[in-house]
Structure 1
Amino acid sequence: MRIAVAQITSGADKAENLQLVADYARRAAEQNAQVVVFPEATMQGFGTGRLDTQAESPQGPFASEVETLAQDLGITIVLGMFSPADQVERDNKTINRIDNLAIVRGQATAEYRKIHTYDAFGYRESDTVRPGEQLCTFELFDVTFGIATCFDIRFPEQFRQLARDGAEVILVPASWNDGEDKLRQWRLLSSARALDSTAFVVACGQAKPQDDRPKEAPTGIGYSRVLDPTGVVLAEAGADPELLVVDIDPEQVAKVRKTLPVL
């Protein structure tokens, strides 16, 4: 199976971000990738403005354009977007919260709402994002995929449960926060989650932005990675926008789980 990892930098404009998706998806299809994974917040980058004003239903125009693109190219697209969720009171203010979604469009259709919101290092994503409640797996080409999003990667039990639910490949759209020691943690956590779950992990992050964005916001550091079921790195990007194309063998999962039965 050939998987592409589209490490992009999303901005504030949905139309421009959708054009980025089209450009990278087309390049992935030209290299015969069957799946292309984009980052969390592909619809609108963190730190570029209010998310609730651009949030859409997963049946809305943005997701519909992604579906059309996927069908036209014959590729399955996985990316992060935002949809309206609920209202909460914070500091005597009413806040329109959103769902942080990862959507799958093309040869399979699925939606995952991020469970573990980024409430750490001085940032409170739960003020503006409603935490999800359900794990997500889907079938594609006789392979079971799982999805987790960014901060979820710090919670090994989510990955282990996805594996118990049959996931052989776990896709992780992300927008990792930059800062001291964060790259080391990103690398360590992604490798550990592959080994915990004895599954392939495809972790696609936002590239490191070149414009001025709030330092506390999880705007991306790059270094997207693909790991095998023993945690070995098969490919890693740098900090800048990049397209990785990697061949994986899902049958390796059963072999590893037979010799390393940790689930």
Structure 2
Amino acid sequence: MRIGIVQLTSGEDIVGNLALAKDKIREAAGRGARLIVLPEAASQSFDSGRLDTQAQDLDGTYATGLRELAGELGVTVVAGMFRPADTVERDGKTLHRVSNTALVTGPGIHLGYDKIHTFDAFDYRESDTVRPGTELVTFEVEGVTVGVAICYDIRFPGQFRDLARAGAQVIVVPTSWADGPEKLYQWRTLTAARALDSTSWIVAAGQARPGGQELAGQSSGPTGIGHSCVVGPTGRREAEAGYEPEIIVCDLDPAEVDKARKSLPVL
């Protein structure tokens, strides 16, 4: 199965972000990718204003725009977006929370996975503005079962093992990872560890680092560190991007999963 990873930098405007996503999806599809994964927050970047003001359901213009394009190209697209969720009170304020969703769309499929583990760490509280999800999601592409996780989920090995037990041979991970001391080291370690935990292919699509290589290593909010990657079921890194916007196209062999699970039956 040929996959494409679109590493980009989304901005504050959902209309402009949709146009950017479409352009890059076309490029990845033109290189033969059948499953194309975009980052978390592809519809609107973190730290660019209130997420609830542009949040849309799966029948909104962002999701349907990607569905129409995926149908035209005959590909399956996974892309991060935000959906209206609920209203909560926090410190005397009324907050309209969203769901942090990975849209999965293409011929015969149009659904969303809502991020289960919100990023309440490093002095950041995603749960104040994002309602945690509760359900695992898998889907099929060319006879291969694909599981979905989002960013901070990657610190929770049980979710990846559960996806593998549900049949996932590939797990896609849209991400908007924070930069800072040891953050790239952690990212590389965690993606390899989750591949080994689940004996699955990990396809992680991250936001490019705002400011690129020049600001690499400096602390930031969860706006991207780049380094999208493909990790095989034995933990070997097969492809990795840098800090800048980039597209990766890579062939995955599902037989490698069967081989790994036979020799390393951790599940």
Q: Provide the rounded CA distance (Å) in 1 between the counterparts of 2:61 and 2:17.
A: 13
Conserved 8 A contact 2:35-2:141 = no
Conserved 8 A contact 1:95-1:128 = yes
Match of 2:53 in 1: 53
Range with bigger deviation, 70-79 or 142-151: 70-79
Equivalent pairs, count: 261
Q: CA deviation at 1:216?
A: 5.3
Q: CA deviation at 1:210?
A: 2.2
Match of 1:158 in 2: 159
Residue number among 257, 262, 265 corresponding to 1:261 in the alignment: 265
Letter in 2 for 1:127: D
**Which structure 1 segments of 5+ residues have no match?**
none
Q: CA deviation at 1:110?
A: 2.9
Letter in 1 for 2:29: A
Conserved 8 A contact 1:123-1:216 = no
Give the TM-score normalised by the residue count of structure 1.
0.97
**Aligned-CA RMSD value:** 1.2
Q: Deviations over 1:193-226 (max 9, x none)?
A: 00100000001100001299xx653000000000
Q: Provide the rounded CA distance (Å) in 1 between the counterparts of 2:61 and 2:22.
A: 15
Match of 2:203 in 1: 202
Letter in 2 for 1:262: V
Q: Provide the rounded CA distance (Å) in 2 between the counterparts of 1:195 and 1:51.
A: 34
Please state whether the residue corresponding to 2:235 is helix, strand or coil: coil
Letter in 2 for 1:255: K
Match of 1:133 in 2: 134
Give the TM-score normalised by the residue count of structure 2.
0.96
Trace 1:56-71 onto structure 2 (pairs within 5 A): 56-71=56-71
Match of 2:253 in 1: 249
Match of 1:81 in 2: 81
Q: CA deviation at 1:59?
A: 1.5
Q: Provide the rounded CA distance (Å) in 2 between the counterparts of 1:65 and 1:103.
A: 12
Conserved 8 A contact 1:7-1:206 = yes
Please state whether the residue corresponding to 1:219 is helix, strand or coil: coil
Q: Provide the rounded CA distance (Å) in 2 between the counterparts of 1:177 and 1:100.
A: 16
Q: Deviations over 1:136-183 (max 9, x none)?
A: 111121110000000000000000000000000000000001111000
Q: Provide the rounded CA distance (Å) in 1 between the counterparts of 2:248 and 2:123.
A: 32
Conserved 8 A contact 1:168-1:250 = yes
- Classify 1:58/1:66 alpha carbon distance in 2 versus 1 (closer, same or farther; 3 Å): same
Trace 1:85-100 onto structure 2 (pairs within 5 A): 85-100=85-100
Q: Deviations over 1:90-110 (max 9, x none)?
A: 110000000000011113333
Q: Provide the rounded CA distance (Å) in 2 between the counterparts of 1:254 and 1:218.
A: 35
Q: Provide the rounded CA distance (Å) in 2 between the counterparts of 1:23 and 1:105.
A: 16
Match of 2:180 in 1: 179
* 2:224 counterpart of 1:223: no
Letter in 2 for 1:252: E
Please state whether the residue corresponding to 1:171 is helix, strand or coil: strand
Q: Provide the rounded CA distance (Å) in 2 between the counterparts of 1:58 and 1:178.
A: 30
Please state whether the residue corresponding to 1:109 is helix, strand or coil: strand
Q: Provide the rounded CA distance (Å) in 2 between the counterparts of 1:247 and 1:216.
A: 33
